[in-house]
Amino acid sequence: MERIALLGSTGSIGVQTLDIIRNHPDRFSISALVAHSRWQQLAEQAREFGAECVAIGDERHYDNLRKALADTHTEVLAGSDAINHVASSYRSDTLVNALVGYAGLHPTARAIESGKRIALANKETLVVGGDIIMAAARRKGVEIVPIDSEHSAIMQCLEGEQRKSIRNLILTCSGGALRDIPKQCLDSVTPELALKHPQWSMGAKITIDSATLVNKGFEVIEARWLFDIEPERIKVVIHPQSIVHSMVEYTDGAVKAQLGTADMHTPISYALLYPERAATATEQFSILDHPTLTFSAVDHDKYPALGIAYETLERGGTASCTMNGANEVAVAAFLAHKCGYLDIVGAIRYALDNATFVAHPTLDDYDAANSEARSLAERYLKL
Ligand code: NAD
Ligand code: MG
């Protein structure tokens, strides 16, 4: 029985992860669950899965959560130290990190130090600190399996292949909610419009990141560290149908792609069961239902964030962390109607142009760079 600590259990990935675990009661058990504020949902999940421990990020909900679970044996904790504790020392074999944002970095680092296997949805972990996280994982012999669909696709395409045969990784990109909106209309885009993702139903932050293509930029950074490949060999193509989840091009000219329905249950179950596969496909995929698959180049004028992500990889050090911190503040402000759509990239640019740069950062340096990026974005957005 594999014991799982699930961070972000009330979110989009978290709930789908619990679906997979519910379908494999002989295989997985839940040791710990973590969420930010939805204490009722967290308490229900803890009861259903018999969690040994729960932690709530927002300490104001601690009392409610504790009372809701008073008649159970579940240990109840609160605060960010408790989340790090759950990630590192709680009795579990695997950490599923489905937190959103910078908050995911330290729990991943702690889990690596304590030798847990990691199924990683929190891409910000690798965006911020991919180099030191992957180095720590190699040192500790810890396996990090991606949940992000593009990276899961690439991992599947790489099975049985030799590293030296890889020519390029090709990430596919739906184009997000604003794919068909002309560039000159972007300044009037509302959060409601940008939240209407054509293919995937996801948390609010990643849906906005998909509209700006910040998400695809982050996925380039994620791929750079996860697969240890130079940024110039990571390509992005727009593929509106979201059926091809990504591809690998080999030196002999062969290209392998992984296809399927746009459903995160597939990459989540692959990450949990690898190298086995689940027998629980939610629906049968028929290629005949998708007779037209199209691909086109990214319009970098319309989507400057993708180029900025490559630029941060070239700069190295704390640059990608700065981009991430500024983006988090700007996306939250945009969702709260406190800034416009184009201000998101404006805030990222401003933070990168004004932030302190640390070439060889430690985890503490990332904390400082994240705080500084957030302050710079707040100043730019006049929050
Ligand atoms: P979400 O907003 O739906 O859920 C986030 C979860 O994390 C919630 O349970 C929330 O309570 C918890 N959380 C957030 N901040 C926290 C904090 N400070 N302390 C404790 N808990 C906190 O987000 P999501 O869409 O599920 O995305 C999660 C991660 O997976 C993100 O990094 C995202 O980029 C990545 N991802 C998501 C999808 C998807 O389909 N949703 C696909 C690929 C990658
Ligand atoms: Mg993705």
pLDDT, tens digit (0-9, with 9 covering 90-100), for 315-347 = 999 999 999 999 999 999 999 999 999 999 999
Question: First-to-last CA distance in the chain?
Answer: 49
What is the rounded average pLDDT of the residues 70-86? 97
Tokens representing 24 are: 């494999």
Q: In this predicted model, what pLDDT tens digit does every residue of 201-241 receive, in sequence order?
A: 899 999 999 999 999 999 999 999 999 999 999 999 999 99
Identify the residue whose tokens are 């596919």: 172
What is the rounded average pLDDT of the residues 54-77? 98
Q: In this predicted model, what pLDDT tens digit does every residue of 148-157 receive, in sequence order?
A: 999 999 999 9
Ligand 1 within 6 A of CB of 148: yes
Q: Give the pLDDT score at 198.
A: 81
Q: In this predicted model, what pLDDT tens digit does every residue of 18-59 receive, in sequence order?
A: 999 999 999 999 999 999 999 999 999 999 999 999 999 999
Q: How far apart are CA 318 and CA 308, in angstroms?
A: 14
Alpha helices in the chain (DSSP H): 12-23, 39-49, 62-68, 80-88, 105-113, 124-140, 149-158, 191-194, 204-212, 214-226, 265-273, 304-315, 319-335, 342-354, 363-381
Which ligand 1 atom lies nearest to the CA of residue 207?
A: 25
Evaluate if residue 124 carries a pLDDT over 90.
Answer: yes
Ligand 1 within 6 A of CB of 99: yes
Average pLDDT, the chain: 97
| pLDDT over 70, % of the chain | 99
Give 90's pLDDT tier (boundaries 50, 70, 90).
low
Ligand 1 within 6 A of CB of 79: no
> What's the CA-to-centroid distance between 3 and ligand 1, angstroms?
21
Q: Give the pLDDT score at 129.
A: 98
Task: Give the CA dihedral 125, 351, 377, 192, nearest 10 degrees.
Answer: -70
Whole-angstrom Cα Rg for the chain = 20
Q: Give the pLDDT score at 86.
A: 95
Q: Give the pLDDT score at 282.
A: 62
CATH tag for 2-146 (out of 3.40.50.720, 3.40.50.360, 3.10.310.10, 3.30.70.100): 3.40.50.720
Q: Is 160 exposed, middle or buried (0-12, 13-18, 19+ CB in 10 A)?
A: exposed
* Residue 257 vs residues 166, 213, 225: alpha-carbon distances, Å: 13, 21, 20
Give 65's pLDDT tier (boundaries 50, 70, 90).
very high
Ligand 1 within 6 A of CB of 68: no
Q: Give the pLDDT score at 91.
A: 86
**Which residues on adjacent β-strands are paired with residue 170?**
235, 247
Residue nearest to atom 25 of ligand 1 (CA): 203
* Residue 231 vs residues 53, 95, 128, 312: alpha-carbon distances, Å: 40, 28, 15, 10
Q: Give the pLDDT score at 281.
A: 62
Contact 223, 171 (CB under 8 A): yes
Q: Domain-by-domain residue ranges, the chain? A: 2-146, 163-261+298-315
Evaluate if residue 160 carries a pLDDT over 90.
Answer: yes
Environment of ion ligand 2 (residues, CB < 5 A): 148-150
